[in-house]
Amino acid sequence: MNPQNTFPFVTKQEWLTQIQKDLKGQSPDSLNWNYNQELSFSPTASVAERPPLPPTSGWEIGEQIVVKNPQVANLQALEALQFGTEGLHFFLPTTPDEPFLEQLLNGVYLDYVGLHFRGPGVWANPGAILAILSNLCSRQDLNTQQLKGSLGYDPLNQAKFQDWRYLHDLVELAQIQFPGFQIIEISTDKQNPEEAVAQLLKNANQYVLHLTQSGLSSTSIAHAIHCHISIGTFYLIEIAKLRAFKLAWMNWLNAWNATILIPTISCTFQKDAYTEALYTNMIKATTMAMSAILGGANQLVVRPYDEDREHLSNYPPQFARRIARNIQHLLKMESGFEQLLDPAAGSHYIEHATIQIADKSWELFKNNLS
């Protein structure tokens, strides 16, 4: 049966007329929702054509581990890997020496999982992390080029950072010895989506401005950057925010005549997303994880539902970490989210929100350049 012979074509004006009739004479604009002064979303919006978004081929299931004692953190890492974690996100309060990092990674197949290091211990001396990893690989007869991961190094957020030569050398070292590692992190704590995207572009642009002066290409600099984006509780808007960032990123690369590369997006949740209603946090974690995945995240860390509220929980921390992992397992292995390429494409509401956020963020970004 030909669908064209079954369902008559309906124009947008006919839809709007029917909506107005159902609203008993009210304007369809009464259904619009103002997110803030800059963004207004309409359920009746249609979209113009836009450049296709680069597809995201699955995502890496991550778990954050705060490293105070390397032996304790190692046990948590091995537990996480045993139960399906694909990327370890180590938060280092201090810069580790080689015995410390060796104990932390004991039993971990370095060439098999994502290795991500963040925190003051990375900010103080990122080169030391790479040097120790190189030594560990040498002793285990591994090639450092087989490793994949990131360093949470964002010197622009450090007071009075001046040593661009050091960053230049670090980028070059990573390109040669650790091509699977991205060593510059850009992030934002802004909750308005257009401001968050503009802030990410501004930070990335600062790195390109400084590092191209020392001889690096814009393409190689962009390849060294990974983007940390916090996800909030506005389900559809968070999907649109990630998609808008991809559009703005590609536009930014084009402005620098750089090779168009898909940005690496690492996601976790906004700090104020959880409340003391712990079981409600489980539901929030699921919907926020869905936002990140449907928006195109490459890496995702689901925060345990009782994080920073462990004293309210009736269960041990291992249970909360297990629930956090299982949320991603359910979405990947049972719900098939990994098999979808840009699943939000074709949703007029999300497409309209994507374009609006991308346009507003690009305008903010350009205004910040002047």
The answer to whether position 283 is within a domain reads yes
Tokens, residue 22 = 């159902």
Q: How many domains does the chain have?
A: 2
Residue 230 shares a structural domain with residue 161: no
Name the pLDDT band for 92 (thresholds 50, 70, 90).
Answer: very high
Question: Is residue 315 scored above 70 in pLDDT?
Answer: yes
| Local confidence band at 227 (pLDDT 50, 70, 90 cut-offs) | very high
DSSP string of 86-152, one letter each residue:
-EEEEE-SS---HHHHHHHTTT--TTTSEEEEESHHHHH-HHHHHHHHHHHHHHTT--GGG-EEEEE
Given a cut of 80, whether residue 159 has pLDDT beyond it is: no
Residue 16 included in any domain: no
pLDDT greater than 80 at residue 301:
yes
User: Do 182 and 208 reside in the same domain of the chain?
Assistant: no
Is the residue at 10 inside a domain?
Answer: no
Phi and psi, residue 304, nearest 5°: -55, 145
Q: Residue 39 pLDDT more than 60?
A: yes
Q: Are residues 152 and 112 in the same domain?
A: yes
Residue 286, SS3? helix
Q: What is the mean pLDDT of residues 195-204?
A: 96
- Per-residue confidence at 278, pLDDT binned at 50, 70, 90? very high
Q: What pLDDT score does 369 carry?
A: 79
Q: pLDDT tier at 156 (50, 70, 90 boundaries)? A: confident
Residue 2: pLDDT over 70: no
At residue 232, the pLDDT reads 94
The pLDDT confidence band at residue 339, using thresholds 50, 70 and 90, is: confident
Alpha helices (H) in the chain, listed in sequence order: 3-6, 12-22, 70-82, 98-104, 120-124, 126-139, 164-177, 193-212, 218-223, 235-255, 278-295, 317-329, 348-369
Range in 176-185, 200-209, 214-223, 340-349 the model is least confident about: 340-349
pLDDT at 60: 96
* Pairwise CA distance, residues 256 & 275, whole Å: 42
Q: Using the predicted structure, report yes or no on whether residue 297 has a pLDDT greater than 70.
A: yes
Using a 10 angstrom Cβ sphere, with 0-12 exposed, 13-18 middle and 19 or more buried, the burial of residue 60 is buried
Same domain assignment for residues 254 and 320: yes
Task: Give 26's pLDDT tier (boundaries 50, 70, 90).
Answer: confident
**What local confidence, expressed as pLDDT, does residue 255 receive?**
94
Global confidence as pTM: 0.91
Question: Is pLDDT larger for residue 195 or for residue 348?
Answer: 195
pLDDT greater at residue 84 or residue 32: 84
Domain boundary among 187, 217, 244: 187
Domain boundary among 163, 187, 211: 187
164 and 258 together in one domain: no
Answer yes or no: do 199 and 110 share one domain. Answer: no
Using the predicted structure, report yes or no on whether residue 48 has a pLDDT greater than 70: no
What percent of the chain shows pLDDT beyond 70? 95
With a CB cutoff of 8 Å and minimum separation 6, the contacts of 280 are none
Residue 52 has pLDDT above 70, yes or no: no
pLDDT at site 175 = 94
Name the band, by pLDDT with cuts 50, 70 and 90, for residue 4. low
Residue 176 shares a structural domain with residue 199: no
In Å, the largest CA–CA distance within the chain is 76
Residue 58 pLDDT class (50, 70, 90 cuts): confident
Tell me the residue range of the domain where 121 lies: 57-187
How far is residue 231 from each of residues 37, 187, 265, measured CA to CA in Å?
Answer: 20, 12, 11
Element (H, E) at 229: strand 225-231
Q: Residue 340's domain is classified under what CATH number?
A: 3.20.20.240
Indicate if 368 and 321 belong to the same structural domain: yes
Q: What is the pLDDT of residue 136?
A: 96
Average pLDDT of 282-288? 96
Q: Are 233 and 284 in contact (CB under 8 A)?
A: yes
**More confident of the two residues 245 and 156:** 245
Same domain for 305 and 259: yes
Specify the range with the lowest mean pLDDT, choosing from 77-81, 131-135, 259-263, 341-345.
Answer: 341-345
Domain assignment present for 156: yes
Q: Does a structural domain hold residue 134? A: yes
- Burial class (CB within 10 angstroms; exposed 0-12, middle 13-18, buried 19+) of 38: middle
The CATH number assigned to the domain holding 73 equals 3.20.20.70
User: Regarding predicted confidence, which is higher, 146 or 17?
Assistant: 146
Q: How far apart are the first and last CA of the chain?
A: 58
Same domain, 174 and 210: no
Choosing from 167, 187, 207, the residue where a domain stops is: 187
Instruction: Considering only residues 362 and 271, tell me which one the structure prediction assigns the higher pLDDT.
Output: 362
pLDDT digits (tens, 9 = 90+) for 253-262: 999 999 988 8
Within this chain, do residues 131 and 230 fall inside the same structural domain, yes or no?
no
Is residue 182, in this structure, part of any structural domain at all?
yes
In a domain? residue 290: yes
- Are 142 and 164 part of one and the same domain? yes
Q: What is the overall mean pLDDT for the chain?
A: 90
Residue 18 pLDDT exceeds 70: yes
Do 267 and 287 meet the contact criterion of CB atoms below 8 Å apart?
no
The token pair at 356 is 């609006």
- pLDDT of the residue at 186: 96
The pLDDT assigned to 51 comes to: 60
Find the DSSP H helices in 36-92. Answer: 70-82
Distance CA 155, CA 167 (A): 9
Q: Is residue 36 in a domain?
A: no
Spatial distance between the Cα atoms of 186 and 226, rounded to a whole number of angstroms: 6
Alpha carbons 275 and 222: distance in angstroms, whole number:
37
Segment 264-280 mean pLDDT: 94
